[in-house]
Amino acid sequence: MPQARRKSRRPADASRIVRNAIDTTALAQLVSGPANGAVVTFVGQVRNHSRGRRVAYLEYDAYVPMAEKLLKRLAAEASERWPVDAVIEHRIGRMDVGEASVVICVGSAHRAEAFEACRWLIDTLKETVPIWKKEVGPDGSYWVEGDDVVAAP
């Protein structure tokens, strides 16, 4: 059976930082197609609590040129590690509880590779991409980096 042709435009190239709401459906369409029997979508959204404190909203900031370059690189690397198409969008600015802060879509012929690549992408993004999160709640605001939390001025 002949192998299905990959799309000529790489979905990884569409990975970016945005300031407005993320269109999850549009991202999923970038990795969908006749060769991909599975599309896995990860949506990271603002929750109302963190580390025993209430969260009213989050503020994300980034060094945008570097962050976008790294998002594209990660999505492309996922396509080299697994037979997948991948795209990532991360939002910056203020987000209220329930709003999406990051969306990763991965398409593949089979679900196992799509799930593995998606998990690797979110874990690696959080470790390597220069995006910073500030949690704001009734008891103040805190910059969060992994397990480290620092009160914001």
65: which 2 tokens? 């040129």
User: What are the start-end ranges of the E strands in the chain?
Assistant: 16-18, 38-45, 49-50, 53-54, 57-62, 84-91, 93-96, 100-108, 131-137, 140-145, 148-151
pLDDT digits (tens, 9 = 90+) for 64-73: 999 999 999 9
The answer to the question of residue 149 being in a domain is no
What pLDDT is recorded for position 7? 44
CATH number at residue 39: 3.90.1170.40
Q: How far is residue 98's CA from residue 4's CA, in Å, rounded to a whole number?
A: 38
**In whole angstroms, how far apart are CA 113 and each of 68, 104, 123?**
24, 14, 15
Among 123, 119, 59, 117, which residue's Cα sits nearest to residue 85?
117
What pLDDT is recorded for position 10? 84
The answer to the question of residue 153 being in a domain is no
Q: Is the pLDDT of residue 147 over 70?
A: no
For residues 97-106, average pLDDT: 98
Domain residues for 17?
11-138
The answer to the question of residue 126 being in a domain is yes
Quick one: pLDDT band at residue 145, thresholds 50, 70, 90?
Answer: confident
Q: Which residue has the higher pLDDT, 34 or 9?
A: 34
Q: For residue 143, give the 3-state DSSP assignment.
A: strand
* Structural domain total, the chain: 1
For residues 53-76, average pLDDT: 97
Q: How far is residue 44's CA from residue 93's CA, in Å, rounded to a whole number?
A: 15
The answer to the question of residue 35 being in a domain is yes
Q: How far is residue 111's CA from residue 38's CA, in Å, rounded to a whole number?
A: 5
